Structure 1
Amino acid sequence: MSATLAQALAADFQQRFGYAPLLVRAPGRVNLIGEHTDYNGGFVLPAAVDKEAVFAVGLNKGAQIRLVAHDLNETLDLDNAAEIAPSDTHWANYLLGVAAQFQLRGVDVPGFDCVFAGTVPLGAGMSSSAAIECGLAFALNKLLDAGFEKMELARVAQFAEHTYAGVQCGIMDQFASLFGRDGQVVRLDCRSLEYEYFPFDTQAARIVLCNSGVKHSLASSEYNTRRQECERGVSILQQHYEGISSLRDATMEQLEALKGELGGTVFRRCAYVVQENARLIRACDCLNAGDLAGFGKEMYGSHAGLRDDYEVSCAELDVLVEAAQKAPGVFGARMMGGGFGGCTINLVAPDKVDAFIESVSKAYEEKLGLKLETYQTTIVAGVGAVVEAQ
């Protein structure tokens, strides 16, 4: 996929600007388990997938920045690279924000040209924005010989999103795009940023995303409420126990002991986070043992916790997970992302994928009258240069 797209972008770039570009691909990501744990200092388990953003980038020996969104057939030109500022063009801000972060780190960013396109479905929770940021960050790092390590590039991309796109995201999406490995998932400790790889047998299971096609307006306000409820839980725990800086440090025994003081809602929120971290650790043990059924069981547990204790699921997501449980060849399923809409992530035996899509689509339409969009993905390596096709 990326090779043909890269060829098209290289041709477009050459035609517009008259010289040969550096070609880069940057994958989107899925998170297999570990939801709402990131801002609680916990663990996440993302993987880079074969839906990606592809870039043709070059230094133009002038001061201009010329950006081209190939898919949209839109362009944005900036006269002077020394005067980067947020623009009214939404997609361009992800790129301009990256260049601004290089400047903030003392790198002189000269004029450059960039043509990009992508296959990451928008609004599916696969982090198309992180792919766009990481792809340009990788390209500029290489072209300018800036010498930034991958973790620094992840921070560049994350802060680009904070400052130019106005989204206060964690580092998981950018991390996954840059650090992905073919046939492996990566466990990131969101507190220390230490990470570890685990094998994922891409021959034994495909990753199928089912897009509910809905996004309830609750999502952002409820997200902030959940953060506050977790913080409230931590502050109560800190009054009784030493060494608790986040829910990562809490145990179920401690929560049970303070159930009355925490109150039902805060207790359930905290219990979900503590249990989700434990589920993720067990899930990684299952991967080491090649036990996909065991891994899937933890995914189902994750969904139940998100539905009942964290209360960020919705009818559409619940119908999809329930239908997946009844479908043939499914190891596990759960909602993925912040909640109140978006996708479910399903691990499906390769020879059962078509039957799975058919049965879940049918159930979704029968129960809710909604058409289902699905995406099949597999795990790939993180951001890198595309070897030029001759």
Structure 2
Amino acid sequence: MPLQSIAAAFQRHFGHEPLLVRAPGRVNLIGEHTDYNGGFVLPAAIDKEIYFAVALNDSTTARLHSYDLNESYTTEISEVHRDETQWANYLKGVVAQFQKRGIEVPGFDCMFGGNIPIGAGLSSSAAVECGLGFALNELLGTRLDRMELARMGQQAEHEYAGVRSGLMDQFASLFGRPEHVVRLDCRSLDYEYFPFNTENCHIVLCNSGVKHSLASSEYNTRRHECEQGVAILQKYYPQVHSLRDATLEQVEKHREELGDVVYRRCRYVVEENLRVESASNHLLEGNLEAFGQDMYGSHAGLRDDYEVSCKELDVLVDVARTVPGVYGARMMGGGFGGCTINLVAPDQVDNFVATMTQAYHEKLQLKLETYKTKIVGGVEAVASPASK
């Protein structure tokens, strides 16, 4: 069990008793690239997690250790800044957010590791940010609420990882609830839970094996293209502050001025927001077939209009469509690699995995990793394995 290993390794490495924290990764059933456009998303926390052991150390130094990489990093708290050690940047970014809020962070020791596949689009970075933020909030007694911790994680991502991500990943890690997905309105930050019964339907992820970085220029380019679209629409519709406020009719009417690329980016985002609302209603009705059709529509939009898919992801979705018991499939995450998310009837999961693995190898000569996931609760402190 990773938690036990990390708790024991912390004691060996640092010689004192830590607070233990579990921080989950996330899946997003539908609503991709909508969060930074003020739209809707429908994520859930999953049982791929980062475990933290953290304790104050009576010094002015942060001693950080990545269990999985077996690498250590030390910095004076007063001199926290970005540098070439990327994994440490996420943690330092969180420390900087406490400091920005006027909270003095003393020296601390931190060891972390887990089982979220890196580069699979399951938000390992958000889990790292939220896990440390939660731990320091507990240890310092600062009583920041979960939404504030999510915002701090997002800002750490912006300022220390260079990714202008939306709030969804951090929100999902902190606000997850077992057997539920949560619809977040990224403009108002209102949210609503929807039951997701994993006895009726399993979530299976297929990892394309293509490594991608959200910090890639394409992610930030898409965000800029959406902002260009808003600037044009706002000239005619002052109430349009983000693509969340735009209608398909408005986008169509100004297609020529938007230009082909920006038009298609805007059309995708507006349509995707409509799909999230539609899919949420299908969940309430228990209509998994209709939910799955919205997922396929989402993938087509990401492939053709938003242009963030890739050959590997398209092959996985095309094959999934032909497998018995699959309700829906789509690419998930920033794009250009990572995972597809698939909703599969429980009695068909083994056949699905076998069929997908074989087809991926036959079509692309690539090895497929799959993950069967459960929906779990959000970031929390956990008891020491020894004390259970």
TM-score by length of 2: 0.94
**Equivalent residues of 1:219, 1:339 under 8 A apart:** no
Q: What is the match of residue 92 of structure 2?
A: 96
Q: What is the match of residue 131 of structure 1?
A: 127
- In structure 2, give the amino acid aligned to 1:49: I
The 5 Å alignment of 1:268-347 reads 268-347=264-343
Calculate the aligned-residue CA RMSD, in Å.
Answer: 2.0
* Alpha-carbon distance between aligned partners in 1 of 2:288 and 2:367, rounded to the nearest angstrom: 29
State whether structure 2 residue 14 is matched by structure 1 residue 17.
Answer: yes
- Structure 2: segments with no counterpart, 5+ residues: none
Question: What's the CA shift string for 1:130-152, capped at 9, x where partnerless?
Answer: 11111111011001101111111
Q: What is the match of residue 223 of structure 1?
A: 219
- In structure 2, give the amino acid aligned to 1:24: V
Please report how far the alpha carbon of residue 326 of structure 1 lies from its aligned counterpart in structure 2 after TM superposition: 0.5
The 5 Å alignment of 1:1-390 reads 4-78=1-75, 80-215=76-211, 220-389=216-385, 390=387
Please report how far the alpha carbon of residue 270 of structure 1 lies from its aligned counterpart in structure 2 after TM superposition: 1.8
SS at match of 1:170: coil
Residues 1:384 and 1:362: Cα distance change in structure 2 (over 3 Å)? same
Q: Identify the range of structure 1 (234-243 vs 155-164) with the bigger mean alpha-carbon deviation.
A: 234-243
Question: What's the CA shift string for 1:286-305, capped at 9, x where partnerless?
Answer: 11122222211110111111
**Equivalent residues of 2:30, 2:276 under 8 A apart:** yes
* Alpha-carbon distance between aligned partners in 2 of 1:361 and 1:75, rounded to the nearest angstrom: 37
SS at match of 1:26: strand
* Alpha-carbon distance between aligned partners in 1 of 2:218 and 2:66, rounded to the nearest angstrom: 33
Residues 1:18 and 1:229: Cα distance change in structure 2 (over 3 Å)? closer
* Alpha-carbon distance between aligned partners in 2 of 1:384 and 1:217, rounded to the nearest angstrom: 27
* Alpha-carbon distance between aligned partners in 2 of 1:40 and 1:65, rounded to the nearest angstrom: 36
**Equivalent residues of 2:212, 2:338 under 8 A apart:** no
* Alpha-carbon distance between aligned partners in 2 of 1:68 and 1:215, rounded to the nearest angstrom: 24
**Equivalent residues of 1:41, 1:189 under 8 A apart:** yes
SS at match of 1:47: strand
Residues 1:219 and 1:365: Cα distance change in structure 2 (over 3 Å)? farther
Question: What's the CA shift string for 1:337-370, capped at 9, x where partnerless?
Answer: 2222221111112221111011112221222222
Question: What's the CA shift string for 1:5-38, capped at 9, x where partnerless?
Answer: 2222222222233322111000011111111212
Q: Identify the range of structure 1 (308-317 vs 356-365) with the bigger mean alpha-carbon deviation.
A: 308-317
- In structure 1, give the amino acid aligned to 2:371: Y
Q: Identify the range of structure 1 (131-140 vs 163-172) with the bigger mean alpha-carbon deviation.
A: 163-172
Q: Identify the range of structure 1 (212-221 vs 166-175) with the bigger mean alpha-carbon deviation.
A: 212-221
**Equivalent residues of 1:317, 1:343 under 8 A apart:** yes
- In structure 1, give the amino acid aligned to 2:113: A
Please report how far the alpha carbon of residue 380 of structure 1 lies from its aligned counterpart in structure 2 after TM superposition: 0.6
* Alpha-carbon distance between aligned partners in 1 of 2:49 and 2:252, rounded to the nearest angstrom: 44
Question: What's the CA shift string for 1:269-316, capped at 9, x where partnerless?
Answer: 222111110110010011112222221111011111112222222221
Please report how far the alpha carbon of residue 219 of structure 1 lies from its aligned counterpart in structure 2 after TM superposition: 8.8
SS at match of 1:303: helix
* Alpha-carbon distance between aligned partners in 2 of 1:205 and 1:68, rounded to the nearest angstrom: 38
**Equivalent residues of 1:82, 1:110 under 8 A apart:** no
* Alpha-carbon distance between aligned partners in 2 of 1:109 and 1:228, rounded to the nearest angstrom: 35
* Alpha-carbon distance between aligned partners in 2 of 1:237 and 1:81, rounded to the nearest angstrom: 45
* Alpha-carbon distance between aligned partners in 1 of 2:323 and 2:353, rounded to the nearest angstrom: 9
Q: Identify the range of structure 1 (23-32 vs 224-233) with the bigger mean alpha-carbon deviation.
A: 224-233
Please report how far the alpha carbon of residue 90 of structure 1 lies from its aligned counterpart in structure 2 after TM superposition: 2.1
SS at match of 2:328: strand
- Structure 1: segments with no counterpart, 5+ residues: none
- In structure 1, give the amino acid aligned to 2:102: G
What is the identity percentage for the equivalent residue pairs of Structure 1 and Structure 2? Answer: 66
